[in-house]
Amino acid sequence: MPEPDPFSSPFHHVRLPGEPEPTTGYGFPGPMPDAPESTGNPYATENPYPATNPYAADPYAAPAYGLPVAHPYVSASAVHMSVLERPVALLVSSWSWLVATVLVVLVLPGMFLVSSDVLANELYEESQAEVEPMTRAESEVVAQLTPMFFVLVFAVLAVPYAIAAIKLRGGRNWPRVLLAVLGAAGVVFGLIMLAVFSTSSVPYVNWLVGTVWALLFLAAVLLGIVAMFVPPANAYVRAVSTR
Rounded to two decimals, the pTM is 0.63
pLDDT at position 191 is: 96
pLDDT at position 39 is: 55
- Asked if pLDDT for residue 52 goes beyond 80, the answer is no
- Asked if pLDDT for residue 75 goes beyond 70, the answer is no
* Of the candidates 237, 242, 238, 243, the residue with the CA atom closest to the CA atom of residue 89: 237
Using the Cα atoms of residue 204, residue 209, residue 211 and residue 216 in order, give the sign of their dihedral.
negative
- Asked if pLDDT for residue 50 goes beyond 80, the answer is no
pLDDT at position 154 is: 95
Banded model confidence at residue 190, pLDDT cuts 50, 70, 90: very high
Q: Are 186 and 160 in contact (CB under 8 A)?
A: no
